[in-house]
Chain A
Amino acid sequence: MALKSLTLSKFQITWLVVLRVAVGWHFLYEGLVKVLNPNWSSIGYLLDSKGFLAPFFYSLTANPTILSIADFMNQWGLVLIGLGLILGAFTKIAAYSGMLLLAFYYLSHPPFTGITFAMPTEGNYFLVDKVFIEFCALAVVTVFPTGNNIGLDRFFKKNKNY
């Protein structure tokens, strides 16, 4: 059950770590900006949901308690996932959680032909959008958990082994 360090070249590891930290940076910044804004709420985003899961996302806004849970999960979920990815701590858990959040974002605002959203996008997307690519990036992070090389996971692993 011992976690093995990856046997990759330095370049390979470097760029995998850069990828992990970059996604983490994005998550942490998004999270902190929301946490630091007392007026932030996910209600507008949820109400703008389109596609086959839209009724589910609308239903989250109907109940103030559920909405505040959704707000809390978004704010602190983003912060914790961001910290995990940057620090390489519980990298796999962080990456999987990040993928789950991104899946929600993707499904609430799917880039399908014929669907337009209140927020204009700066590019053109069909099925693959930035959320999807970030999702793929996190999938790479889960199969190359570089936290064991550069990150706190290395420290946890050592302690565990000893």
Chain B
Amino acid sequence: MEDQNKSNQKKDKKNISRRDVLKSLATVPVVGAVAYGALKKKQYDHYLNSKIAEELGMSYSEPENKPAKMGGKEIRIGIIGYGIRGKQLTQGLGFVHPSKVDSWKEGAMNNKDDKRYSNFIAQDDLNVRITAVCDIFDTYGTMAQEMAANVNREGNGGKMADLPKRFLNHKDLIASPDVDAVIIAAPDHWHGPMTIEAAKAGKHVYCEKPLTWTVEETYEVRKAVKENNVVFQLGHQGRQTDSYNKAKEAIEKGVLGPVNLIEVTTNRNSPNGAWVYPIHKDANQNTIDWEQFIGQAPWHDFNLERFFRWRCWWDYSTGLSGDLLTHEYDAINQIMNIGIPDSAMSTGGIYYYKDGRTVPDVLTTVFEFPERDLSMIYSATLSSEMSRGKRVMGHDAYMELGNTITIFPDSRSTRYADKINEEIINPSQPIYSYIPGKKNVDAITSATESYFANRGLLYTYRGGKRVDTTHLHLKEWIDCIRSGEETSCNIDQGFEEAITAHMGTLAYHHKKQIFWDAENEKIIV
């Protein structure tokens, strides 16, 4: 009793009553409740994550950025064709025209988010030099020389190296003793002859897709590359896309179960996307070597549209099949090793761009791979941007593939039936997502993250650096020249790509199913 009085007195002294203490601390238990809730959520997420991760066995790390093999002497490169793609390829090598640097710098000054210049400067030095250029349009030929001399990646007025020699004919460039390797960015009907010429001269080759324009030269190109032991890379830069490597892993680990149907697509909706490229003001009969342009194509009188928009005519082009299907096919071949199909059937037409072109602007091709129990549909339009991506449909799960990967379980899956019953797997939620640039890969990605990724808000990174896949693809080729290793899109992959594309085109022309005789390596029309 006395004690209590004492303590009361003490409290009074401090002017703090029990009432005060209670009122001060009344809300403390709320903190406990919130913390309990947050911990429960974490445990639940972790439980689902680890259960699903255990089931799938997928890796969750981003690929690292391998440093370029800089060693050895400088590799001397000749560039054949300095049009739209040729300019992109030399940029991937580390060379652009000074005026381009100026325009990038100006862009960066006006807009802080314009990173073209800083990304280019940050690109790895590949220890190469462009020692020879060839373009049959004089303006591009001169520009190519200036680009190659811009070794310090500067703008106009910067310190240039000596101008490399401009060759008027690719044969002379290939024969030049100053060239170790060539990059071919000429029109499709020149890919085969130029690659054969270069391989026979012992020069390494990076060739734009598709590998060939005719079926016959496909065999000759393969023979020339193999016999002469040159390092060959076909220009499907998608080989470097992170998400495709993850997709390959998913297929190898059987995450999707048996896959019987694949759908790949092209959706474009602009004149540029439909190959209606601008015509250069300096172009005329005096500045263009028209005869060389024609090459093995059927003769046609000088025509600027045909020169700049050659993809619109079968005379020089391989159409949607060679131009855009090949990217899609190569991606699936990279992921699933499907090889050459047993058959192809195509339909389509010129339905929107009635501008005198001969190649279709709408095309659907169905490839059959009976040995793999698999059909692949390609469908393309040049007059709608409704993007459909690539879809790989398996019995247990389906995958949507682009720069990101999303794998959804199938509600009727056999493999995941138990986990779906136990409510560990929710068929309406992805079981695996890969979003490049995200801090880490997770089995469970929040809805927010998927939305951001699908809107292209997260970029392709490697080792925390934004990268250009064309640069990576060229880098791999250069590295292989130095190390003697095999490129990812080598001549065998290229052969499969070209034959597949030709089968699709032949089916379109002949309006019938075209078969592949695998034993004799012959297309049967």
A16 within 8 A of B: no
Contacting A155 at CB < 8 Å: which of B20, B42, B439, B464? B20
B286 within 8 A of A: no
Are A28 and B16 in contact (CB-based, < 8 A)?
A: no
- B126 smallest CB distance to A (angstroms): 26
Contacting A86 at CB < 8 Å: which of B34, B38, B464? B34
- Using Cβ atoms and an 8 Å threshold, which residues of chain A touch B20? 154-155, 158
B452 within 8 A of A: yes
Are B27 and A150 in contact (CB-based, < 8 A)?
A: yes
Complex CA distance for A47 and B448, rounded to whole angstroms: 12
- Using Cβ atoms and an 8 Å threshold, which residues of chain A touch B27? 17, 21, 86-88, 150-151
- A3 smallest CB distance to B (angstroms): 14
Closest residue on chain A to residue B438 by CB atoms = A39
Complex CA distance for A151 and B24, rounded to whole angstroms: 4
Query: In chain B, residues 17-43, which have Cβ atoms closer than 8 Å to a Cβ of chain A?
Result: 20-21, 23-28, 30-31, 34-35, 37-39, 41-42
B451 within 8 A of A: yes
Q: How large is the interface on A (under 10, 10 to 19, 20 to 34, 35 or more residues)?
A: 35 or more
User: Which one of B34, B39, B45, B448 has the greatest number of beta carbons of chain A within 10 Å?
Assistant: B34
Tell me if A's interface is mostly helix, strand, loop or mixed: helix
B73 within 8 A of A: no
- Using Cβ atoms and an 8 Å threshold, which residues of chain A touch B15? 158, 161-162
Complex CA distance for A159 and B20, rounded to whole angstroms: 11
- A30 smallest CB distance to B (angstroms): 9
- A115 smallest CB distance to B (angstroms): 14
- Using Cβ atoms and an 8 Å threshold, which residues of chain B touch A104? none
B281 within 8 A of A: no
Complex CA distance for A36 and B36, rounded to whole angstroms: 12
Are A36 and B38 in contact (CB-based, < 8 A)?
A: yes
Complex CA distance for A82 and B27, rounded to whole angstroms: 12
Closest residue on chain B to residue A85 by CB atoms = B27
- Using Cβ atoms and an 8 Å threshold, which residues of chain A touch B457? 44, 47-48, 118
Contacting A32 at CB < 8 Å: which of B24, B30, B38, B438? B38
Are B25 and A152 in contact (CB-based, < 8 A)?
A: yes
Are B39 and A36 in contact (CB-based, < 8 A)?
A: yes
Contacting B31 at CB < 8 Å: which of A48, A55, A87, A159? A87
Task: Return the CB mask of A95-135 against B: 1 if under 8 Å, else 0.
Answer: 00000000000000000000000111000000000000000
Complex CA distance for A120 and B35, rounded to whole angstroms: 28
Are B35 and A32 in contact (CB-based, < 8 A)?
A: yes
B387 within 8 A of A: no
B485 within 8 A of A: no
- Using Cβ atoms and an 8 Å threshold, which residues of chain B touch A7? none
Are B42 and A37 in contact (CB-based, < 8 A)?
A: yes
B371 within 8 A of A: no
Closest residue on chain B to residue A40 by CB atoms = B439
A81 within 8 A of B: no
Q: Decide yes or no: A154 and B23 within 8 Å by CB, A21-B30, A86-B31 being known contacts.
A: yes
B276 within 8 A of A: no
- B121 smallest CB distance to A (angstroms): 15
B112 within 8 A of A: yes
User: Which one of A55, A62, A119 has the greatest number of beta carbons of chain B within 10 Å?
Assistant: A119
B440 within 8 A of A: yes
Are A28 and B34 in contact (CB-based, < 8 A)?
A: yes
Are A44 and B449 in contact (CB-based, < 8 A)?
A: yes
Complex CA distance for A82 and B457, rounded to whole angstroms: 30
Are A43 and B458 in contact (CB-based, < 8 A)?
A: yes
Are B14 and A162 in contact (CB-based, < 8 A)?
A: yes
Complex CA distance for A151 and B26, rounded to whole angstroms: 7
- A151 smallest CB distance to B (angstroms): 6
Are A48 and B452 in contact (CB-based, < 8 A)?
A: yes
Complex CA distance for A59 and B16, rounded to whole angstroms: 51
Are B16 and A155 in contact (CB-based, < 8 A)?
A: yes
B354 within 8 A of A: no
A6 within 8 A of B: no
Task: Return the CB mask of B432-445 against A: 1 if under 8 Å, else 0.
Answer: 00000111101000
Complex CA distance for A155 and B10, rounded to whole angstroms: 16
Supplied contacts A88-B27, A162-B15, 4 more A-B pairs, CB within 8 Å: A29-B37, A37-B45, A62-B113, A118-B451
